[in-house]
């Protein structure tokens, strides 16, 4: 709910984001959904090198037994059993994986690593906007207030920037608290001579009106899709599915899921996290139906975990991780683990303890924004990055 005080302060903060007008999109516009797994997912226990004995020796108590691994059929990797909904997408070639991916920046700070990954400029703290905002193509004068949506109470770091974007915690609650306050605020903003207040106020009310129309339409997930009960991540993806199917001109969306910092009791904690993660994504794909052909989902986490387990039945901050790319598009090179695998032998580890980064995360994201959003100048989205590597990609959208 938006109180008068919160609305005023929020409108002032987002003013720069509303200065550019976005275009109303066709009903079958391609859409990119970015998902952030905050806390550093253990990629080695999610996408398991189950044919490598080093993995089992390094993790005597938390390694996933070979008998439980969901084999990917490539002779190298398998999925954690809790990822069964993703395994089904893999079998339909609607899931691609990039292993040993991440940032070459050496920080082990959650805050810094997340900031670098959302800005798309590792090691550079002065970047004010995010890669997902920069990835939005320039548009003509027609507009939609819901071109870029961040699910949550605040606009995600990656969607801050010059292009229009809005934060929606939930479709049902995205409204001014009462009609009197709404009319008063709308009149005040429409009557102001200050353009820096008039523009965000007008756009915010346009977004509120459009979301209210969506909320009035009864919604039941299609194809029997069942989002995990009580899951905030599942609820976020359901909000995005509603926006996709409402044809409001959505181009990019962002959602996150936290809790991945498994320093202790990892086996139980990861089981729950991956169940939520995969169940929500599986329901999202089913709910979209044939609209999944227009949507690409890319996941990321700030860094991985140590190869060796610690003394508390968990893992500590590591380096490389696994990224997932999901889509119903024929362009996805699904059913494959992409990227070079650096190996787990002690002499091959980063700083003698972590899976080394073999694929820069910007190469994955660059390829996705190029193919999904039609971005030609990928270097503009990831300034200062390894231009040749980013432009080449990893073949994840190569079909």
Range in 6-10, 167-171, 193-197, 237-241 the model is least confident about: 6-10
Rounded mean pLDDT of the chain?
Answer: 88
How far is Cα of residue 129 from the mean position of the Cα atoms in its chain? 16
Instruction: Count how many Cα atoms sit within 13 Å of the Cα of residue 52 in the half-sphere of its side chain.
Output: 20
Smallest CA-to-CA distance from 61 within 207, 250, 265, 269 is with 265
Interval 252-305: pLDDT, tens: 999 999 999 999 999 999 999 999 999 999 999 999 999 999 999 999 999 999
Identify the pLDDT of residue 156.
98
Q: Are 316 and 252 in contact (CB under 8 A)?
A: no
Average pLDDT of the residues in 104-117 = 98
Instruction: At 269, list the tokens.
Output: 């904690």
Residue 391 has pLDDT above 80, yes or no: no
Identify the pLDDT of residue 13.
41
Average pLDDT of the residues in 326-348 = 97
Q: Are 365 and 325 in contact (CB under 8 A)?
A: no
Residue 216 has pLDDT above 50, yes or no: yes
Measured distance CA(73)–CA(85) in Å, rounded: 16
Interval 160-182: pLDDT, tens: 999 989 999 999 988 755 555 55
Range in 3-7, 70-74, 193-197, 313-317 the model is least confident about: 3-7
Smallest CA-to-CA distance from 307 within 286, 324, 290, 321 is with 321
Most confident of 98-102, 140-144, 175-179: 98-102
Q: End-to-end CA distance of the chain, in Å? A: 44
Identify the pLDDT of residue 194.
54
Average pLDDT of the residues in 362-378 = 95
Measured distance CA(291)–CA(285) in Å, rounded: 9
Average pLDDT of the residues in 36-54 = 98
Average pLDDT of the residues in 13-23 = 35
Identify the pLDDT of residue 30.
96
Identify the pLDDT of residue 141.
53
Burial of 142 (0-12, 13-18, 19+ CB in 10 A): exposed
Range in 4-13, 72-81, 291-300 the model is least confident about: 4-13
What percent of the chain is modeled with pLDDT above 90?
78
Interval 81-90: pLDDT, tens: 999 999 999 9
What's the pTM?
Answer: 0.88
Identify the pLDDT of residue 206.
83
């Amino acid at each position: 709910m938006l109180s008068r005080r919160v609305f005023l302060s929020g409108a002032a903060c987002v003013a720069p984001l509303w200065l550019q007008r976005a275009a109303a999109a066709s009903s079958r516009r391609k859409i990119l959904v970015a998902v952030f797994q905050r806390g550093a997912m253990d990629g080695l226990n999610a996408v398991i090198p189950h044919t490598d004995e080093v993995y089992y020796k390094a993790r005597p108590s938390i390694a996933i037994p070979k008998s439980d691994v969901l084999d990917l059929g490539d002779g190298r990797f398998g999925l954690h059993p809790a990822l069964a909904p993703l395994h089904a997408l893999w079998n339909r070639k609607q899931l691609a994986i990039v292993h040993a991916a991440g940032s070459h920046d050496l920080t082990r700070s959650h805050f810094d690593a997340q900031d670098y990954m959302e800005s798309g400029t590792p090691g550079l703290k002065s970047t004010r906007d995010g890669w997902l905002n920069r990835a939005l193509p320039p548009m003509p004068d027609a507009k939609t207030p819901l071109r870029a949506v961040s699910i949550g109470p605040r606009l995600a770091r990656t969607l801050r920037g010059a292009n229009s974007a809005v934060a929606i915690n939930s479709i049902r609650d995205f409204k001014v608290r009462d009609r009197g306050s709404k009319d008063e605020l709308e009149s005040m903003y429409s009557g102001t001579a200050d353009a820096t207040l008039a523009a965000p106020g007008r756009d915010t009310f346009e977004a509120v009106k459009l979301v209210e129309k969506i909320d009035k339409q009864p919604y039941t997930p299609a194809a029997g899709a069942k989002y995990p009960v009580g899951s905030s991540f599942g609820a976020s993806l359901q909000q995005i599915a509603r926006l996709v199917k409402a044809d409001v001109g959505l181009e990019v969306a962002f959602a996150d899921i936290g809790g991945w910092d498994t320093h202790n009791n990892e086996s139980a904690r990861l089981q729950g996290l991956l169940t939520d993660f995969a169940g929500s994504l599986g329901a999202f794909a089913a709910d979209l139906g044939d609209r999944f052909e227009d949507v690409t989902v890319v996941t990321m986490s700030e860094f991985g975990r140590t190869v060796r387990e610690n003394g508390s039945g968990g893992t500590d901050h590591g380096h490389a991780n696994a990224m997932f790319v999901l889509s119903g598009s024929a362009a996805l090179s699904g059913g494959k683990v992409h990227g070079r695998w650096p190996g787990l032998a002690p002499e091959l580890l980063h700083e003698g303890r972590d899976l080394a980064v073999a694929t820069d995360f910007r190469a994955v994201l660059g390829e996705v924004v190029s193919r999904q959003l039609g971005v030609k100048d990928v270097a503009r989205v990831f300034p200062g990055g390894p231009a040749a590597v980013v432009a080449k990609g990893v073949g994840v959208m190569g079909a």
